[in-house]
């Protein structure tokens, strides 16, 4: 590979890694943020919700924007947005300020993820598959080491450090990207903006976001001091109504934000996406829940929590190449059943975990979920390719990533509802029982050996 291509890969890699890194570093910092603002666990969960909901919306929108404004512009703008948000976020006059800038940070980092791979495909012509594989490692590796890196930073300089660390990375990334990402054909920004606004389905985005946020606000605060509040029940109803209106609207327009007609036309795609969402719900409930358990119930500090959580990411990374070989030989179905059984084992361990349980038990739980996640990442993608016709594979892949984010959001919602304000050992065991039930359901359902769908 030429020197220029290597520098281009480094430039892209530094940018795209900021999204998974920032989504995962916060796992270990949540107790510190909770203490700094005097919040209950349910409220502080919005630090997770806000990031993933914003990413789910921003990435497809910014992918469309790159077609009009140019991939280089979007990538550089994303670095600037991430730099500003990360610099201002720790200057926290309020938790609302932090959430607002967390959303801005998510949008900025999503801009780079949305266009990074496309830049590599266009401008790296030799050994392209190897280049894309390396960039995938930037994404998966950043997510894997995020909790460890977050624990290291938080234990040394406080939770604010998980934001400040982005500042030099974004600055270096901007300098390298400006120098190494080639210029593209200039466009008329004014006409491009009008065209972009007409293509992105802004009403659909607003309905989806408002419905989801309103539903979550209602659910997470529906009970107060042991009483069910009618106002919050009304909020839940409004959220559901907005999502229903969103679904009806999306089915009627020609360029929907989420192409729901695809689910009606290809039920097998729906099934794969739903199972992928549940698998991610299971994984991220552990990913974000276990660090709070270790710190708030076991009294383990941030650094040691990060070291323990590293077992989750490393197991996931280690098994992914083997999963690729296994899929090639036996298909996705046996791997998905194995993954589900691992999550049954891991969630059963959570359900019986005691405050004095040995660290070996915790490591086994983390290993089970880490291995399951590594298997799922490859096998679910293979299952999607098996059932999606070629003419819709691009749209289906975009929806696939959206369901990953939804699984993450629902995992935090489930944890917040179970903990009901304070993270405690009883709630953690209940969470384990619920996750055990979901994992058992995935095991029973399984995925049959799919045959490729012929063109209709």
How many CA atoms, within 13 angstroms, populate the side-chain half-sphere of residue 102? 26
CB 101 within 8 A of CB 142: no
- Measured CA to CA, the distance from residue 155 to residue 152 in angstroms comes to 5
CB 289 within 8 A of CB 143: no
**Mean pLDDT, range 286-295, rounded to an integer:** 92
CB 7 within 8 A of CB 173: no
| pLDDT the model gives residue 217 | 85
**Mean pLDDT, range 120-138, rounded to an integer:** 75
Does the pLDDT of residue 6 top 80, yes or no? yes
219: tokens are 């659910």
146 closest CA partner among 317, 46, 28, 51: 28
HEC-encoded secondary structure of 71-100: HHHHHHHHHHHHHHHHHHCCCCCCHHHHHH
267: tokens are 């039920």
Q: Confirm whether 1-193 and 262-456 share one CATH topology.
A: yes
**Mean pLDDT, range 69-97, rounded to an integer:** 91
CB 48 within 8 A of CB 412: yes
- Measured CA to CA, the distance from residue 53 to residue 51 in angstroms comes to 6
pLDDT tens-place string over residues 224-236: 555 667 777 899 9
209-235 as b/e, with b when 16 or more CB fall inside 10 Å? bbbbbbbbbbbbbbeeeeeeeeebeeb
pLDDT tens-place string over residues 396-442: 777 788 888 889 989 988 988 888 767 888 889 999 999 999 999 88
- Measured CA to CA, the distance from residue 310 to residue 28 in angstroms comes to 11
Res. 68 pLDDT band, cuts 50 70 90 = confident
Which alpha helices (H) appear in 331-446, and where do they start and end? 333-351, 359-387, 393-419, 425-445
Res. 455 pLDDT band, cuts 50 70 90 = very low
Tell me if residue 224 falls in helix, strand or coil: strand
| pLDDT the model gives residue 451 | 45
The neighbour count for residue 391, using CB atoms within 10 Å, is 10
- Measured CA to CA, the distance from residue 146 to residue 47 in angstroms comes to 15
The chain-wide mean pLDDT, for the chain, equals 86
pLDDT tens-place string over residues 172-200: 999 999 999 988 765 555 556 666 666 78
Alpha carbon 113 to its chain's center: 12
Domain-by-domain residue ranges, the chain? 1-193, 201-256, 262-456
Q: Which CATH architecture has domain 262-456?
A: Up-down Bundle (1.20)
Mean pLDDT check: name the lowest of 37-51, 156-170, 218-232, 245-259. Answer: 218-232
Angle between helices 18-37 and 302-330 (to 10 degrees): 150
- pTM across the whole model: 0.87
Fold of 1-193: Growth Hormone; Chain: A; (1.20.1250)
Sorted by sequence, the CB contacts under 8 Å of residue 380 that are 6+ apart come out as 272, 275, 276, 279, 332, 336, 400
The neighbour count for residue 356, using CB atoms within 10 Å, is 6
**Mean pLDDT, range 276-302, rounded to an integer:** 92
| pLDDT the model gives residue 226 | 54
Helix (H) / strand (E) element for 24: namely helix 18-37
Residue 40 backbone dihedrals phi, psi, to 5 degrees: -85, 170
Q: In terms of pLDDT, which residue wins out, 195 or 284?
A: 284
330 closest CA partner among 382, 389, 388: 382
């Amino acid at each position: 590979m030429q020197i220029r291509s290597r520098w281009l890969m480094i430039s892209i890699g530094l940018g795209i890694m900021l999204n998974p890194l920032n989504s995962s570093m916060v796992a270990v910092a949540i107790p510190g943020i909770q203490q700094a603002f005097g919040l209950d666990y349910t409220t502080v969960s919005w630090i997770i919700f806000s990031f993933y909901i914003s990413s789910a919306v921003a990435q497809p929108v910014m992918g469309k924007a790159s077609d009009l404004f140019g991939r280089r512009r979007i990538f550089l703008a994303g670095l600037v947005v991430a730099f500003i948000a990360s610099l201002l976020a720790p200057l926290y006059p309020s938790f609302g300020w932090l959430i607002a800038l967390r959303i801005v940070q998510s949008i900025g980092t999503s801009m780079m993820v949305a266009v990074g791979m496309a830049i590599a495909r266009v401008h790296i012509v030799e050994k392209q598959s190897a280049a894309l594989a390396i960039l995938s490692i930037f994404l998966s590796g950043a997510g894997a080491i995020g909790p460890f890196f977050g624990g290291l930073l938080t234990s040394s300089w406080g939770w604010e450090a998980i934001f400040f660390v982005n500042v030099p990375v974004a600055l270096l990334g901007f300098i390298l990207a400006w120098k190494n990402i080639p210029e593209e054909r200039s466009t008329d920004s004014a006409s491009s903006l009008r065209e972009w606004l007409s293509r992105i389905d802004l009403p659909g985005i607003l309905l989806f976001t408002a419905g989801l946020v309103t539903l979550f606000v209602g659910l997470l605060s529906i009970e107060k001091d042991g009483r069910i509040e009618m106002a919050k029940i009304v909020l839940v109803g409004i959220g559901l109504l907005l999502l229903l209106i969103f679904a009806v609207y999306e089915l009627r327009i020609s360029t929907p934000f989420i192409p729901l007609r695809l689910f009606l036309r290809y039920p097998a795609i729906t099934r794969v996406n739903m199972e992928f969402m549940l698998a991610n719900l299971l994984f991220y409930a552990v990913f974000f829940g276990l660090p709070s358990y270790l710190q708030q119930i076991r009294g383990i500090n941030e650094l040691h929590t990060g070291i323990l959580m590293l077992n989750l990411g490393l197991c996931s990374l280690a098994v992914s190449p083997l999963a690729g070989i296994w899929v090639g030989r036996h298909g996705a179905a046996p791997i998905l059943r194995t993954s589900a059984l691992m999550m049954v084992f891991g969630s059963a361990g959570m359900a019986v975990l005691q405050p004095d349980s040995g660290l070996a038990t915790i490591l086994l739980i983390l290993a089970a979920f880490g291995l399951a996640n590594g298997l799922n990442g490859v096998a679910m993608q293979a299952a999607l390719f098996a059932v999606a016709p070629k003419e819709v594979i691009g749209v289906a892949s975009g929806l696939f990533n959206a369901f990953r984010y939804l699984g993450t959001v629902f995992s935090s919602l489930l944890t917040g509802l179970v903990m009901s304000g304070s993270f405690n050992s009883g709630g953690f065991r209940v969470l384990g029982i619920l996750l055990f039930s979901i994992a058992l359901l995935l095991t029973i359902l399984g995925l049959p050996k799919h045959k490729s769908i012929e063109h209709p």
